A and B are shown apart, each in its own frame.
Chain A
């Protein structure tokens, strides 16, 4: 890290740590800070997708100044690339659960689905893992593939490799990051008379956060008449149409190598096939020379370079990461807050870790709430976990993943459960729902019980001499025969599941002992009684919020 970058970061951190207040100290306009333990839980869930260990939590309680050291440690955590990929999926919307009809010999449909939904996000992961500039997203002279995708798309892939690796198309196309990935154009088709315009808008939405279709269309009578008779001429000459098409169409002209005349024609082979002979199809369809907002381009690689240099591309990256980490929808009033993060991003060669560091050390991020009416309405002092985070936290607590035919139900798109939990499906649901729904309640309930049963079945097994979670009680114990064991066991369950210890005078141990008795009286089974007790701990609001 260079000296200027270090000072920038230190300035941000100093401000954040100094200006937060406790609830007792807070005055109008102040941010009320999370406790050190809560801060570390928030940080860990956001960056690693799991709770911190108790050892880590005790360390930050002993010395809150360790927060920034933990930030650095978590930024190097192997879970971070997946976290950033999840955030970026909210912008790219490439995980749709669709296979687009692709097949890979020797692999089942689920494996193909997983592969074709992650080509772009594998590049995001690589950018994070190797601290590459974010511009790599549109300039990379390679693609990313695993063996399944390599088989499905006939890619040049390292012999003997097994995971996501750099790979190359062998059909003569240039490489320009996600702009030349076949799965990008399968996700965003644009056939026939649409002439790649939908793709151009997809590029604008994904990379510039600018949706042409969100602009109000003001068509006068003459324009409508002209559109009816000769749409291409109207698009080229009418001022109303030109307000969008003057920049949209030249952008669209870059993608004719992936153009499909007719989506329904099986002989076309779909957008997975690159056809160099169609590169100049724009001459026939729109007549618009390839270009990027007035700058002529020779090829798609040049387009990638121009996008990479566009300030809007950088703004969009910052906006996407900021929105994902703060669970806020950016509005104009937020620009002053985001400007600081933008400076850090630009000062650090557009690498993502310093940007993330800037956000997670800000006073807004560390706040429980703010005593400012307007800002508080935009803040999310209570954050809700994503499907992947919930799956990870339950796995971390219990060792359980809720699998059906080997696939995690909580995160598998085809199950519908991610959407029930407030996640997106990339098509009909494109924004996360941070408010817990009735679907969330039911998923948490059933997941919690399934995980709880896994714990009692494992830890109370006769041949298990080293139980992992139920260490303080035996299956034969009752609250009357081992009251101290019950109390400690219940305290440990809460601590493990939520990261928050019960207070010394907490009533939960006694309440859950009573609950155990009630369940035992109905079920006549200690295992079922304990499964019920563990399940209510896993259903605690502190498990799905942070």
Chain B
């Protein structure tokens, strides 16, 4: 039986031409070692950025929940509440030095769909991939499951073939094969060697198809190349599924986050997206925000513990090669509405921590009414000569942190360098 490795792929003339169209060349086939991995969390519905990340205690223009107060840890400032947000304070006490808060981010919109798109892609234009997709598809490493979406938004754009949705666990059942025995008319599973024989045959058919259609000009080539590349990925995943423990996917945010980082540690994936549970769109009452933030920071604290005690793929500990990015589509109005809720607000905050981040600081700036102020992108502090910070600038910094020139993705967008340890 033929080898199923990528090396063989590159020996196949037909496949070679199609991969060339993807921008892949044999010299680019490198391991995943040395690349930072990115785990994104997203609170869909729009979190209240002032509830934790951007405190305004003492301002007449911002309402906070009762008993909350400003807590300062060096250069890092957050809203604390000993009654309802114990885990938030615990997280910052333990991991504040590795964490940066970015405030005063202009989300450019207050519509949920567009907000998700703007925050994740830096543009409202169709067909742009989001930050994790770009990082996964355009990094120097190759991954069988480049960007895994456990939940939350996903904008694959023209790089959508790099996106794998966990599908509520269905994908894992499909990978494992157990799904064929669970249908209304179950089928017996074939043995492992038979599966490999079949995969090998299909691979040859797909390679021949891609070779033939790959010679055509235009968009068709992208589709046939994607089929071939993903056929290859699927075979690699099958060979490593037990290594990753893919059959044991939990449903909590912590379960999914640890699974995601485990896949990164094994070199299966570079990026992942996990949805932060909760009903964040709190027009009708803002109190759930604190509870949900507390639950999330509790999970985040445990995740950081896990990363700090687990060997990395190319660093002593996984925390040294992993970046954690926590986002929402926009913020919420500074003041309560008539229902003690908060509505949509175009300024927002983000939390970024881990490898390469200049932690221990709150960056960006907003005035006493939570309106973004111009900031100096190098220092991250308010400056009359600076610019308003946009979600695209934060994204561009993440791309830079991931070794990708942001100019090749969003030309003219300046990265928010203050976020990066190496500037």
Contacts and interface: CB of A to CB of B under 8 A. Distances in A.
A440 B156 CA distance: 15
B219 interface: yes
Contact of A442 (B171, B210, B218, B337): B171
A225 B15 CA distance: 58
Nearest to A380: B219
A283 interface: no
Contact of B230 (A406, A419, A436): A436
B97 interface: no
Interface in A481-534: 511, 515, 518-519, 522-523, 528, 531-532
B139 interface: no
A454 interface: yes
A453 interface: yes
Contacts of A405: 184
Contacts of B346: 217, 219
B231 interface: yes
A438 B233 contact: yes
A378 B334 CA distance: 45
Interface stretch (B197-205, B302-310, B351-359, B400-408): B197-205
B389 interface: no
Given A211-B114, A214-B124, A522-B191, A428 B223 contact: no
A192 B183 contact: no
Given A213-B114, A369-B216, A373-B217, A435 B222 contact: yes
B34 interface: no
B277 interface: no
Given A198-B111, A437-B226, A264 B170 contact: no
A193 B197 contact: no
Contact of A225 (B156, B217, B230, B371): B371
A532 B190 contact: yes
Contact of A536 (B160, B167, B198): B198
A265 B108 contact: no
A264 B168 CA distance: 26
A416 B218 contact: no
A422 to B, nearest CB: 8
Interface stretch (A73-81, A443-451, A463-471): A443-451
Nearest to A508: B205
Interface string A205-224: 00000011110110100001
A175 B144 CA distance: 52
A541 B126 CA distance: 28
Interface stretch (B3-11, B72-80, B83-91, B172-180): B172-180
Contacts of B161: 433, 435-437
Contact of B223 (A382, A416, A439, A536): A382
Nearest to A405: B184
Contact of A420 (B114, B153, B174, B334): B174
Interface string A378-413: 111110100000000000000010111110010000
B234 interface: yes
Interface in B77-129: 108-109, 111-114, 124-127
Nearest to B165: A419
A262 B283 contact: yes
Size class of the B contact interface (CB-based, 8 Å): 35 or more
Contacts of A384: 223
A454 B185 contact: yes
A541 B227 contact: yes
Nearest to B157: A431
B337 A192 contact: yes
Interface string A345-382: 00000000000000000000000111101011111111
A420 B341 contact: no
A406 B183 CA distance: 9
A34 to B, nearest CB: 12
A449 B177 CA distance: 10
A528 B126 contact: no
Interface string B220-247: 1011101100110110010000000000
A100 interface: no
Contacts of A449: 180, 187, 190
A99 B156 CA distance: 27
Contacts of B28: none
B164 A376 contact: no
A450 B186 CA distance: 7
A539 interface: yes
Contacts of B198: 515, 519, 532, 535-536, 539
Contacts of A445: 174, 199, 202, 234
Contacts of A198: 111-112
A263 B197 contact: no
B234 to A, nearest CB: 4
A416 B165 contact: yes
Contact of A446 (B165, B166, B179, B343): B179
Contact of A441 (B179, B234, B343): B234
A430 interface: yes
A63 interface: no
A434 interface: yes
Given A228-B371, A522-B193, A369 B205 contact: no
Contacts of A225: 369, 371
B66 to A, nearest CB: 20
A262 B168 CA distance: 30
A213 B111 contact: yes
Contacts of B125: 214
Contact of A436 (B153, B205, B223): B223
B109 A217 contact: yes
B311 interface: no
Interface in B133-175: 144-145, 152-154, 156, 160-161, 163-171, 174-175
Interface of B: 44, 61, 108-109, 111-114, 124-127, 144-145, 152-154, 156, 160-161, 163-171, 174-175, 177, 179-180, 182-185, 187-188, 190-191, 193-194, 197-199, 201-202, 205-206, 209-210, 213, 216-220, 222-224, 226-227, 230-231, 233-234, 237, 283-285, 333-335, 337, 339, 341, 343-344, 346, 369-371
18 contacts: A192-B284, A193-B343, A217-B346, A369-B216, A370-B217, A375-B218, A405-B184, A429-B154, A431-B127, A436-B161, A437-B161, A437-B226, A440-B230, A441-B230, A445-B174, A518-B194, A536-B198, A541-B210
Top-5 shortest CB links A-B: A376-B218, A416-B167, A453-B187, A213-B111, A213-B114
Given A228-B61, A453-B188, 7 more contacts: A214-B125, A217-B108, A262-B283, A417-B167, A435-B161, A435-B222, A523-B190
Interface of A: 191-194, 198, 201, 211-214, 216-217, 219, 224-225, 228, 231, 262-265, 329, 368-371, 373, 375-382, 384, 400, 402-406, 409, 415-417, 419-420, 422, 428-431, 433-443, 445-446, 449-450, 452-454, 457, 511, 515, 518-519, 522-523, 528, 531-532, 535-536, 539-542, 544-545
